[in-house]
Amino acid sequence: MRIVENNKYSKASRLMILSLFALFVLLPIIYTITNSFMGADEISKYYSNDKQMMVHLIPDKFSLNAYYQMLFRRPDYLIKFWNSLGLTSIIVLGQVVISTLAGYSFAKFKFPGRDTIFFILIILMMMPYQVTLVSNYIVLDKMHLIGSYWAIILPAIFSPFGVFLMRQVIVTMPDELIEAAKLDGANQFRLLFRIVVPRNKGGIVALIILSFIDNWNMVEQPLVFLDNKYKYPLSIFLSQINQSEPGLAFACGVLAMVPVALLFVFFEKELIEGIGFSNLK
């Protein structure tokens, strides 16, 4: 669609607008990263509550003090990091398996109540978590899971978002492929693993990344369902440290970004393709 004509003028202005927007978008990220390399005295010089804060992007003195404090002097940081990593990985793994199965089922199979259930799924997916928090707690309490990681893992694995995403992705797959495979004599499981999964790899990768981001940043559920401070994930640590020690907060933020950024870098191509397919039809 030609909303602009392809001449030099419009190309240049488009580039300019996009660059400006990109800078805007990146500024907070850059800010966090550069500020993480400042020493403790610099941070207190520029960020005490009474003084006027200024745009302080480039550190006067490059210092790894914040990182040193985080990694070596604060043992709880590393504990929480591995907590987060383990928790999130398990959730992502479980969610991918269950959502792919269910998404495939909703997309390509007909069974009674399918559309009604899907409709309810969409609506419940949009509800904020506070809605089910207390009743979830009661259910988990009955199962004696309060205090263990399973109280967080189980509800997260069965989150309807994954099913929604996978269903949208798989629905775009042409039926002919399935029919052809069936004619060749493939049974259901073969179909699943040989055709459905590889063909929709993009969607699966998209789910991995989105689910990882969501669960990596989860704060409220661990606070309520876990009882031991040592079990807390990194996201809680980050929100608490923002209040108490702003100097370390930047470094902590950067370190928390790292796993997600890594995932991004590895899977970027599949992600963009994957998100792309999720909406068609």
Assess 131 for contact with other proteins (CB under 8 A): yes
State the nearest-atom distance from the C-beta of 140 to other proteins, in Å: 8
Touching other proteins, residues 56-85 (CB under 8 A): none
CA distance 36 to 31: 8
Residue whose entry in the numeric block shows the structure tokens 């210092």? 63
**Residue 19 parent element (H or E):** helix 8-36
- Asked if 7 touches other proteins (CB under 8 A), the answer is no
Residue 90: HSE in the Cβ half-sphere, 13 Å Cα cutoff: 13
Task: Count CB atoms within 10 A of the CB of residue 122.
Answer: 13
Place of tokens 């400006």: 20
Q: Which is nearer to other proteins, 11 or 61 (CB)?
A: 11
In the shown chain, the binding pattern of residues 140 to 159 toward other proteins, with x for contact by CB under 8 A and - for none, equals -xx-----------xx-xx-
C-beta closer to other proteins: residue 1 or 174: 1
At CA 24, angle to CA 57 and CA 274, rounded to 5? 120
Nearest C-alpha neighbor of 275 from the set 202, 217, 211, 215 = 202
Contacts with 166 (C-beta within 8 Å, 6 or more apart), sequence order: 99, 100, 102, 103, 104, 107, 200, 203, 204, 207
The interface region with other proteins, picked from 37-45, 59-67, 85-93, 108-116 by CB under 8 A, is: 108-116
DSSP for residue 73: I
Applying CB under 8 A, does 281 fall inside the site for other proteins? yes
CB of 58 to other proteins, least distance (A): 15
Stretch that binds other proteins, among 37-45, 59-67, 85-93, 130-138 (CB under 8 A): 130-138
Is 268 among the residues that bind other proteins (CB under 8 A)? yes
Minimum gap (Å) between residue 78 Cβ and other proteins: 16
User: What is the nearest approach in angstroms of other proteins to the Cβ of residue 193?
Assistant: 13
Quick check: 111 and 196 in contact, CB under 8 A?
A: no
No. of helices (H) and no. of strands (E), the chain: 15, 0
Contact residue for other proteins among 7, 8, 128, 185 (CB under 8 A): 128
The 24-43 contact track toward other proteins, x by CB under 8 A, reads xxx-xx-xx-----------
Nearer to other proteins by C-beta: 65 or 254? 254
* Other Cβ atoms closer than 10 A to 232: 20
Side chain identity, residue 267: F
Within 221-250, the residues that bind other proteins by CB under 8 A are: 223-224, 227, 229-230, 235, 238-240, 242, 246, 249-250
Q: Which amino acid makes up residue 204?
A: I
CB-nearer residue toward other proteins: 65 or 256: 256
- Report how far residue 242's alpha carbon sits from residue 252's, in angstroms, rounded to the nearest whole number: 9
Interface mask toward other proteins for 192-221; x: CB under 8 A: ---------------------x--xx-x--
The least distance separating other proteins from the CB of residue 225, rounded to whole angstroms, comes to 9
Least Å from the CB of residue 153 to other proteins: 11
CA 175 → CA 40, 188, 196, distances in Å? 61, 14, 11
